[in-house]
Amino acid sequence: MPTITLVGAGSMVFAKTLVGDVLSFPELSDSDICLMDVDEARLSKTTRVAEAMVENEGLDATIRATTDRREALDGADYVLNMINVGGTEPFENEIRIPERYGVKQAIGDTIGPGGIFRALRTIPTMLEMARDIEDLCPDALLLNYTNPMSILCETMFEATDVETVGLCHSVPHTAEAIADYLDVPAEELDYWVAGLNHLAWFLELERDGEDLYPALREAMADEETYRRDTVRFEMLKHFGAFVTESSHHVSEYVPYFRTDQSTIDAMRGEGYAERMATATYLDGWTARSAARDDPDIEADLDEVGVERSEEYASRVIHSMETDTSRRFNLNVSNRTNAIENLPSDACVEVPCLVDGTGVRPCSVGELPTELAAFDRRHATVNGLVVEAALENDREKLHRAVKLDPLTAAACTLDEIHEMTEELLDANAAYLPAFD
């Protein structure tokens, strides 16, 4: 009976999904599940839904809830992290202030000025949680869902002894999109994917031993298909590989698509490409935050059941608890030299084998030179942000923002410096002091 703790469980929809995933496995259906959040009202809603799932399905799981993080972590075997530090106000500043300087982020939660400052306000809490884990459950596996994934996981690798892996659904979601474009069942795709989170590459794409890249290029030539994923098809056309984030999001990682309004307009389309407009995600995120407070979300508790989603966490736990071998793309330290031409201290997203022995990253070798160039630059930015946060170094923070590809394409160095100072001032209440 594993003890599984969810930190940030006030995010009720996601927490409900993860709890349902765990309970969907008979071998995990008697788990001790502890829900923790600092927002007691939201936590109470999540708890009632989780308890209803257990009762309606007649399971033996135990549901506990607390606002005390140390109580939640005491004796945990697995810790699922999904915290959001600061809420709406700093997130909006991280989008709107850069926008005034011409840095037109679409999401701004993993890279760019938005991702960097989101990391800065999240890292102190992550380190506090790590100290609690080291004290109360030193053998626990931390499964991190919180963004910015690469920066936060690299911080944990660098500054703590907590075994940490990052979980993201961008790889399976991208596989589903490719399958749709090719009109083949997603479960029949075989692929080998590696890089950084949100900037990993389908290095191999096959079905029954047949290379599917020619078919994907053929599909790209169809205008209707192209309009569904414009930026990713452009990256495929020019750099030879399909990348693992949606068009509007990956457009933030490169300097080509977001500095000119006419280009942004040209890249709009259907599906993944429909949100190329600046900060449309911010508006949606604000609406979703409000929805989490809607009491109607708890309606019909007597009908709440257990379903299994595509999220990795429950499968990772099940593999480790039952010694069932599975392969996932996870975010891990590159200290194993999984990707030979990326920095050894980087957080990389690579295929990993998981079973009763734990998580074992696979060896990918070298990425193609042109693909490694994109990832290496972001790995450098991520590393500088980690150093800035751990060393309280204001200058390293400035250099990190100046090296961001989209920011550098939109602004002069002096403008970036001024923008960074403005972001520091606007979000001072949520940030550590910098020398």
The whole-angstrom separation of Cα 330 and Cα 353 is 9
The amino acid occupying position 160 is T
Neighbours of 29 (CB within 10 A): 17
CB 168 within 8 A of CB 197: yes
∠ CA(283), CA(201), CA(212), 5° rounding?
110
Phi first, then psi: give them for residue 304, nearest 5 degrees: -70, 130
Residues present in the chain in total: 435
Backbone angles phi, psi at 349, to 5 degrees: -110, 110
Q: Is residue 169 annotated as part of the catalytic site, yes or no?
A: yes
In single-letter form, the type of residue at position 142 comes to: L
CA distance between the termini of the chain: 47
Q: Name the H helices within 183-222.
A: 213-220
* The Cα angle at residue 364 between residues 358 and 369, in degrees rounded to 5: 145
Amino acid letter, residue 109: D
- CB-based burial label for 210 (10 Å; 0-12, 13-18, 19+): exposed
How far is 381 from 112, CA to CA, in rounded Å?
Answer: 9
Least Cα distance to 405 among 374, 368, 359 occurs for: 374
Who's near 242: CB < 8 A, 6+ residues apart?
174, 178, 201, 202, 205, 216, 232, 235, 236
- Known catalytic residues are 169
